[in-house]
Amino acid sequence: MIRILVAEDNAVNRELLRELLEARGYTVLEACDGQQALQMIEQALPELLLLDIGMPVLDGFGVILKIRENPRLAPLPVVAVTAYAMRGDREKILASGFDGYLSKPLNPSSLTEELDRLLTKSTQSANQDEGHGGPPGRKDRAAGASGSGA
């Protein structure tokens, strides 16, 4: 079963995401801040991360920087789920290393589209790279990624 980590400091938003994801058959892991999210990524190796930008302890930009600096974690698909929806915010977020962007309030159909796009991409990459080490679905990322996923 596909594991998705939701890193969101707002309990209501976490609950909404959990319900939407579980209804689609995903296993949901939850973190309340950026530092906890990094710890959970290391322990659970989720197939995808939904990451809020404005969180305590370590914000989403700090989390994505640490993920992309770590060759083992760098291939993890990460979608920003954020209230930052002003002109230029999406571009800034994607340029920071995120693979996708969803604005709040969350549109359930947009969530489904992003999950399908990124998880299909990860599955195709895992099938191509099978037998080369590392967890399945964690090989490919947007252009500019570093690391082999091993």
Single pTM value for the model: 0.83
β-strand 100-103 against 78-82: which pairing, if any?
A: parallel
**Which residue is it, tokens 């992309």?**
68
Task: Judge contact between 63 and 17, C-beta under 8 A.
Answer: no
Residues pairing with 30 in the sheet: 6
pLDDT at 117: 95
> Average pLDDT in the 42-67 region?
97
Backbone φ/ψ region at 56: left (φ over 0), alpha (ψ -120 to 50), beta: beta
pLDDT at 129: 54
Domain boundaries, the chain: 3-129
Q: Where are the alpha helices (DSSP H) in the chain?
A: 11-23, 34-44, 60-69, 89-95, 108-129
CATH class for domain 3-129? Answer: alpha beta
**Which residue is it, tokens 């309990």?**
11
